[in-house]
Amino acid sequence: NAGVTQTPKFQVLKTGQSMTLQCAQDMNHEYMSWYRQDPGMGLRLIHYSVGAGITDQGEVPNGYNVSRSTTEDFPLRLLSAAPSQTSVYFCASSYRGGSRETQYFGPGTRLLVL
Amino acid sequence: AQTVTQSQPEMSVQEAETVTLSCTYDTSESDYYLFWYKQPPSRQMILVIRQEAYKQQNATENRFSVNFQKAAKSFSLKISDSQLGDAAMYFCAYRSPLGGSQGNLIFGKGTKLSVKP
């Protein structure tokens, strides 16, 4: 199993540009989520999905869009990049229920918005 | 809403010594999950240890163990025989067993651990 994969590893954008951060998992997890990590802030939830076709907002959803057309993929779209979106983005996935609660993280995407 | 607090922004330990990282949380739930994640300079989030709240026995994973005090809502991580590779950011996290938005991981702000040779 590849686990949770994210592309790209690093991206530089200009203000106003749009882009999609890709996330895929091959563990058949129903639960997937996107976090952003900023210095001194820990990880904050952007959007999450409890299954294909179902998405919802997290703590900091503004400026981001998601969709979940398959169990495996959960892309994050930046609609119009702003310098405040400079951050490291993590995708995570898990089963739900009982002893399967552990979330597994991708390697992260470092985004710089100029 | 649940909260997770890590009161030590930075900690330092001598190689081969033992260090304890603190974590407290606030919840009204009786059943939940607690985690410690390690983030080395590579930024990869690595699960160190997990604890189910209904289990009274403290979880252990090799040199890593927790002191879970449910009544005090405390979940500290003990690293024994510290190694240079243990140097990293450590995050404490809480997860509710409920569905929807309540089932997301809630993180503390992290503790940066340095290991001195």
Chain A's closest residue to B41, CA to CA, is A107
Chain A's closest residue to B54, CA to CA, is A98
List, for residues B42-74, the tens digit of each pLDDT value: 999 999 999 999 888 999 999 999 999 999 999
Gap between the Cα atoms of A94 and A97, Å rounded: 10
Q: Is the pLDDT of residue A96 over 80?
A: no
Write down the residue that tokens 């890590």 correspond to: B6
Looking at residue B1, its pLDDT comes to 77
DSSP conformation class of A29: -
Quick check: B45 and A48 CB within 8 A? no
Name the residue among B43, B104, B109 with its Cβ closest to that of A42.
Answer: B109
- Residue B28: other Cβ atoms inside 10 A: 6
| Residue of A95, A105, A111 to mutate, testing the B interface (most B Cβ within 10 Å of its Cβ) | A105
One-character DSSP codes across B24-61: EEE-S-SS-EEEEEEE-TT---EEEEEEETT--SPPEE
List, for residues A29-66, the tens digit of each pLDDT value: 989 999 999 987 789 999 999 889 999 999 899 999 99
| Residue of B36, B43, B61 to mutate, testing the A interface (most A Cβ within 10 Å of its Cβ) | B43
